[in-house]
Structure 1
Amino acid sequence: MKKRDRIKTIFFDAADTLFYIRRGLGHTYAEVARKYGTDPDPSDIKKAFSRAFKSAPPLAFGNVSEEERRRLEREWWKAIVESVYSEIGMFEEFDPHFDELFEVFRGEAWTLFPETVDVLSTLKSRGYSLGIISNFDSRVYDVMRDLGIYEYFDLVVISSEAGHAKPSHGIFSIALERAGRESHEVIHVGDDLCNDFHGARALGIRALLLDREGEYAGVRGMDRLENLTAIKSVLGKKA
C-alpha cells in the first residue's frame, strides 16, 4: 500500500464486521418468542425484520440526556419488533417478550468472528489506533466488553450518540474529529456497501468492504476483504 506510513487509525463497523448473531436473527427472535406462547417461523421473522429495519428512521438522537437517549433507543427497537410481529402475528405477551429480547441482544446473542481478536491485537501491536463507527445503540459497549474486545479501541462512535447514522458525513466527521485525524490518515472497514464503503469514501476516507460471501468479487476497482485477516496484506509489512 502506498504511503502506508500515513495511516494512523483504522475504524471498524461493529455488527457483522467484528461480531455476528450466533444463531442468526430469525432463530434468536423465535427462541425468545416461544417462551411467551407463540411459535413464529424464523424465516418469516427475518423477512419482516428486513422490511421494518429498512423503513425505520435513523437510530440517531444527538444532544439529549443519557437517560433520554436510552429511552429513545429502546423505543426505536420496540417499534421495529412490533412491526415484525404485527406482520407475522402479534401475541398477548409481547411486552415482557420484548424486555427479554432487548437484553438478549445486550450480550448473549453475539459472538466474535474467529479472526477478530488476532487482527485487533496485531494492529494495536503495530501502533495503529483503533475506532468503531457503527449504527448501533449504547448496548454496544456491553456487547464489546462481554466479547472481550472493548480494550482494543481508542474511541467508539455510535449513531445513537452522534446524532448521525452512516452513510451520513456527520458520523464519519465526528469520528475523525475525536481521533484527531485527517481523512487520508484513516481507513474504514465494514460489511455494508452503502453505509460503510460509499459512506466513508464520500468523505475521502479509504474504505475496505468486508465481503465474506464474495458478493462483490467481480466488481472492478473495489477494495474488498474476504475476511478481517486480509487487512494485514492491505496494510503491508507494517501490519
Structure 2
Amino acid sequence: MFSGVLFDFSGTLFDDRSVLDPARAAVGDEVITGVLAHVDSPEGIAARQGCDVSRERHRAVWTALIAESGTYSGTVVDAIYHALTDPSAWRPYPDTARVVTALHDRGTRVGVVSNIGWDIRPALADAGVLDLLDTVVLSCEHGLEKPDPALFTLACDKLGLPPASVLYVGDDPLKDGAAVRVGMPVYLLPTERSADRDRGLDAVLRLA
C-alpha cells in the first residue's frame, strides 16, 4: 500500500500523439508531418535534451527545430509552437480523471511531475483533476529535468512523504524509471497507446 502516487503528464495522463493538429495550427498535414519528422529525428532528439529546464529555453529550442524543418515564416513557426503549448490541445486519456479521482477519494496523496516547458495546470483543470492534486512539479519551474533524481525528491517533499511510500507512474524507462534512484517504486505503462482508449491507469488503483 502506498501513501502517494506521482504521475508523469505527457504520454501517461495526457495524449502526446495528437497535439499538433494541422487545423489547430492552421497549416497543412504535410507541414506537421515534416515538423514531427524533424523534431523526432536523432538530431532533433539530441537538440531537445535539456530544453525543459526553462520556458525560455523550451521556446527557443522548439521554434528553432520547427523553423529548420521547412521554409516557414516566423508567423507559421509561432502558430505551430502555440498549438503545441495550447492547454486545450492536450487531451486526457479516458481513464485519467477516473483514476485520479479514485485515488483522491481514498485519501492517497497525488501529484504530477513533468518535463515540460510551459504551464500544464490549465490542461489539468480542463480535465477536472487539478483540484484533486496535492502538487504539480514542472521541470521548467525548478531548472531540473527527469532523470535528475533531485526532481523526484522535490516532488516527494512537496507531497510530504518519503520516496519509498510513493508510487511513480510514467511511460519512459529512462526518464521516469530514474525514480528508482531515490527509492521510489515505479510502474511503467506500455509504449502502445491511443487517445481514444484507456491508458491502463486502473492498474495503479490495484497497486496503490
The amino acid of 1:200's aligned partner reads A
Three-state SS of the structure 2 residue aligned to 1:112 is coil
Three-state SS of the structure 2 residue aligned to 1:43 is helix
Distance across 2 between alignment mates of 1:209 and 1:123: 18
* 1:32 aligned partner: 25
* 1:106–1:140 Cα contact (<8 Å) kept: no
Deviation at 1:202, TM superposition (A): 1.4
Distance across 2 between alignment mates of 1:49 and 1:89: 12
Deviation at 1:186, TM superposition (A): 0.5
Shift in alpha-carbon separation, 1:113–1:127, aligned structure 2, 3 A: same
* 1:66 aligned partner: none
Distance across 2 between alignment mates of 1:59 and 1:180: 28
Deviation at 1:55, TM superposition (A): 2.5
Three-state SS of the structure 2 residue aligned to 1:200 is helix
Three-state SS of the structure 1 residue aligned to 2:15 is strand
Deviation at 1:24, TM superposition (A): 4.7
* 2:63–2:81 Cα contact (<8 Å) kept: no
Q: Deviations over 1:153-189 (max 9, x none)?
A: 1001111112210011110111122222111110100
Distance across 1 between alignment mates of 2:57 and 2:23: 20
Distance across 2 between alignment mates of 1:39 and 1:118: 33
Equivalent of 2:150 in 167, 170, 182: 170
Distance across 1 between alignment mates of 2:200 and 2:191: 6
The amino acid of 1:229's aligned partner reads D
* 1:89 aligned partner: 70
Distance across 2 between alignment mates of 1:57 and 1:194: 13
* 2:11–2:171 Cα contact (<8 Å) kept: yes
* 1:58 aligned partner: 50
Q: Does 2:132 match 1:152?
A: yes
Three-state SS of the structure 2 residue aligned to 1:108 is helix
* 1:12–1:188 Cα contact (<8 Å) kept: yes
TM-score by length of 2: 0.84
Q: Does 2:87 match 1:107?
A: yes
* 1:30–1:41 Cα contact (<8 Å) kept: no
Distance across 2 between alignment mates of 1:31 and 1:106: 10
Shift in alpha-carbon separation, 1:201–1:75, aligned structure 2, 3 A: closer
Q: Deviations over 1:109-135 (max 9, x none)?
A: 111101111101111111101011110
Q: Does 2:200 match 1:206?
A: no
Q: Based on CA coordinates, which of the two structures has the bigger radius of gyration?
A: 1
TM-score by length of 1: 0.74
The amino acid of 2:206's aligned partner reads S
* 2:103 aligned partner: 123
Q: Deviations over 1:188-219 (max 9, x none)?
A: 0001111112x1111110000011529xxxxx
Deviation at 1:22, TM superposition (A): 6.7
The amino acid of 2:89's aligned partner reads A
* 1:17–1:210 Cα contact (<8 Å) kept: yes
* 1:129–1:154 Cα contact (<8 Å) kept: yes
The amino acid of 1:32's aligned partner reads A
Distance across 1 between alignment mates of 2:29 and 2:108: 47
Percent of aligned pairs with the same amino acid: 25
Runs (5+) with no aligned partner, structure 1: 62-71, 215-225
